[in-house]
Amino acid sequence: MGLEKRFYELGIIPVVAFSDIEEVVPTAQALINGGLPAIEVTFRTDIAAGAIHLIKQMFPKMLVGAGTLLSIDQVEQAIKVGADFFVAPGFNADLITQAWEYDLMFIPGCATASEVDEALRMNIKFVKFFPAEACNARKYISALNGPYPQMNYMPTGGISLENMAEYLEIDNVVCCGGSWIASSSLMQSGNFEQVRENAKQVAEKVKSIRGNN
C-alpha cells in the first residue's frame, strides 16, 4: 500500500514532541491501542532521533515520521534511524533536493499559492499546509483547489477533535496533523490513558467520516 493511501485511511497523524525518552514507549503503545498506529516525532526536542529509533524497534508496524525538519543534519539523523516519512513546516529547497537524493517521502510545508505553485513545478503533489487555522486553511485550501486541483494537503496547526471533520471533508485533504492527541502536558503527567482515549476518539471519527476505506 502506498504511504499516501495509509495517510488517508489514518486521517489524522499525531504530532508529538517528546521531552523525555521514558514517554516514548507508553505514548506509542497508547496510540496503537487507541487505533491510531502512526506518529510524527518532531525535531523540536533533541531526543527526536532516539525516540524514532526506539519506536521502530518496539513497534515495527507503526508508521513513524520525522517532523519539524529544518536542516540537512536533522534529515540525515532521521534517515539513519529509519523514519518512514519526513515533514518540514516550510518550503526549504535544500531539504527537497536532499530528499530527492535519498528517494524519501518528504512533505514540505506550504501556506501560499506561490509555494503550491513552486511545489508543483518541482513535481511535489503532497504538502503540509501550515499553519492551518492561523491561515484560515478551511477556506484557503478550497480556494487553492480551483487553480491547483492536482495538489494534496496535510493541514496542521490548530486542528482539533472539534474541527477535524471540516478539514477531512475538503477535497484534496489527505489527512491532518495534530498535537492534541499526545500533548506534552498529557505525556509529562503520565496520562497515557487519555492519549489512548484521544486516539480512540479520532479513529472513530475518521471512520465515521471516511467509512471503512
203: its cell numbers: 479513529
Strand partners, 65: 40, 85
Q: Which of 4, 9, 40, 118 is catalytic?
A: 40
CA terminus-to-terminus distance, the chain: 12
Give the residue with the Cβ less far from ligand 3PG, 58 or 66.
66
207 in active site: no
Distance of closest approach, residue 116 Cβ to ligand 3PG, in angstroms: 18
40 in active site: yes
Helix (H) or strand (E) holding 121: helix 113-121
Closest by CA position to 196, among listed 48, 15, 31:
31
Give the residue with the Cβ less far from ligand 3PG, 26 or 90.
90
Reduce the DSSP state of residue 74 to 3 states and report it: helix
Distance of closest approach, residue 105 Cβ to ligand 3PG, in angstroms: 16
Q: Backbone dihedral region of 183: left (phi > 0), alpha (psi from -120 to 50 degrees) or beta?
A: beta
Distance of closest approach, residue 170 Cβ to ligand 3PG, in angstroms: 17
Give the residue with the Cβ less far from ligand 3PG, 24 or 176.
176
Give the residue with the Cβ less far from ligand 3PG, 103 or 162.
162
Residues near ligand 3PG, by CB under 6 A? 15, 42, 67-68, 156-159, 177-179
Give the residue with the Cβ less far from ligand 3PG, 139 or 147.
139
Distances (CA, A) of 88 to 43, 75, 187: 10, 10, 23
Distance of closest approach, residue 208 Cβ to ligand 3PG, in angstroms: 21
206: its cell numbers: 475518521
123: its cell numbers: 513535481
Q: Which of 118, 128, 162, 200 is catalytic?
A: 128
Cβ neighbours for 197, distance < 8 A, ≥ 6 positions apart: 34
Distance of closest approach, residue 195 Cβ to ligand 3PG, in angstroms: 14
Determine the residue with CB nearest ligand 3PG: 179
The C-alpha atoms of residue 146 and residue 31 are separated, in whole angstroms, by 36
Catalytic positions are 40, 128
